[in-house]
């Protein structure tokens, strides 16, 4: 049966050439597109159009794209893709922490942008009900505090719901992570990546493998995984390490296997 509901998108981009390119890519993908060069107007378009996806330039003329993402996250869980000419890890981290789901570095190929968007739409999405007249809800990427205590660090990982390693305990049922009995605030992606490493133990997980797992797709040998998606895995792990205060030279929870991917370091005494 044909899809009756037309997908909508909002493009917030002050470069007219790039804006036109992104509009074309989205229309070819079946979206009804509205666009603007203004960040302030873009926030109101998102509020009015209730789009499935928003593409957002970081370097807007009127207000910073990161601030636009934060404002959008106050009232919607739509997908946000940052378009940026900045490739520094710190800049990308700021983009993800402001509420973006993904980022694409300029210049980009139209085919890659479309593939990234379609892959993003296949990921499971937790949708919140927002009341625009009530107090602003927390951003979609902010974990909800859980008052139920996690198991003590020495608890064994017996049922694949609770994992313990080097003083860290992850409870997949309550989606909480404690380090030395102190609860950490992780994004959904950081939590899922950490759980994947804990589950895989010493088995090396490639970046492409982890990208496909985040998409919640079956493993297909020729499934497209872009270089930008693999870089996003690096950014998420860098942010995760920072929150864990994990030393890359002497890791306790995230060990990099150069040229391959990531795995869990050995258990320490």
How would you write the pLDDT of the chain (269 residues) with one tens digit per residue?
444 457 999 999 999 999 999 999 999 999 999 999 999 999 999 999 999 999 999 888 888 888 898 899 889 889 999 888 765 555 555 666 667 888 788 888 898 888 888 877 876 554 443 444 433 433 333 333 433 434 333 333 334 689 999 999 999 989 999 998 899 988 888 899 999 999 998 999 998 888 888 876 544 444 667 776 787 788 888 889 989 999 888 999 999 988 889 999 998 86
Q: What pLDDT does 28 receive?
A: 93
Q: Which residues pair with 11 in a beta bridge?
A: 35, 55
The whole-number pLDDT of residue 102 equals: 80
pTM comes to 0.51
| Closest alpha carbon to 13 in 5, 2, 24, 22 | 22
Decide if 177 contacts 186 (C-beta within 8 A). yes
**DSSP 8-state class, residue 265:** P
Q: Do 264 and 255 contact (CB within 8 A), yes or no?
A: yes
Residue 3's pLDDT is 44
Judge whether 87 and 108 are in contact, CB under 8 Å: no
pLDDT of residue 115: 86
What pLDDT was estimated at residue 121?
Answer: 81
* Helix residue ranges per DSSP H, the chain: 16-28, 39-49, 65-73, 89-97, 110-121, 188-200, 207-215, 227-244
Residue for token pair 């979609």: 140
Q: Which of 213, 75, 93 is nearest to 132 (CA)?
A: 75
105 forms bridges with which residues in the sheet?
A: 84
Q: Which pLDDT does position 96 carry in this prediction?
A: 66
Question: Facing residues of 56 across strands?
Answer: 12, 82
pLDDT at 171: 93
Report how far residue 136's alpha carbon sits from residue 99's, in angstroms, rounded to the nearest whole number: 14
Domains of the chain: residue spans and CATH = 7-121 (3.40.50.2300), 162-263 (1.10.10.10)
Instruction: State phi, psi for 55 to the nearest 5 degrees.
Output: -105, 135
Gyration radius of the chain's alpha carbons: 19
């Amino acid at each position: 049966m044909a899809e009756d509901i037309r997908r909508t998108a909002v493009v917030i981009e002050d470069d007219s050439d790039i804006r036109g390119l992104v509009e074309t890519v989205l229309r070819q993908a079946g979206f009804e597109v509205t666009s603007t060069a203004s960040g302030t107007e873009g926030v109101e378009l998102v509020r009015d159009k209730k789009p499935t996806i928003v593409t957002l330039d970081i370097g807007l003329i009127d207000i910073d794209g990161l601030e636009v993402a934060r404002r959008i996250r106050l009232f919607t869980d739509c997908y946000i893709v940052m378009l940026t000419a900045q490739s520094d890890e710190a800049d990308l981290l700021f983009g993800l922490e402001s509420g973006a789901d993904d980022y694409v570095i300029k210049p980009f190929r139209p085919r890659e942008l479309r593939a990234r968007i379609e892959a993003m739409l296949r990921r499971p999405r937790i949708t919140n009900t927002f009341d625009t007249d009530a107090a602003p809800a927390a951003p979609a990427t902010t974990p909800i505090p859980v008052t139920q205590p996690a198991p003590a660090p020495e608890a064994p990982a017996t049922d694949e719901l609770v994992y313990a390693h080097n003083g860290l305990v992850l409870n997949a049922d309550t989606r909480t992570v404690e380090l030395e009995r102190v609860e950490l605030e992780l994004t959904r992606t950081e939590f899922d990546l950490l759980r994947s490493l804990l589950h895989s133990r010493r088995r090396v997980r490639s970046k492409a493998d982890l990208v496909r797992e985040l998409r919640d797709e079956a493993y297909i040998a020729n499934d497209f995984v872009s270089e930008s998606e693999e870089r996003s895995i690096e950014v998420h792990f860098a942010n995760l390490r920072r929150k864990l205060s994990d030393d890359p030279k002497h890791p306790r929870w995230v060990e990099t296997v150069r040229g391959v991917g990531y795995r869990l370091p050995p258990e320490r005494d």
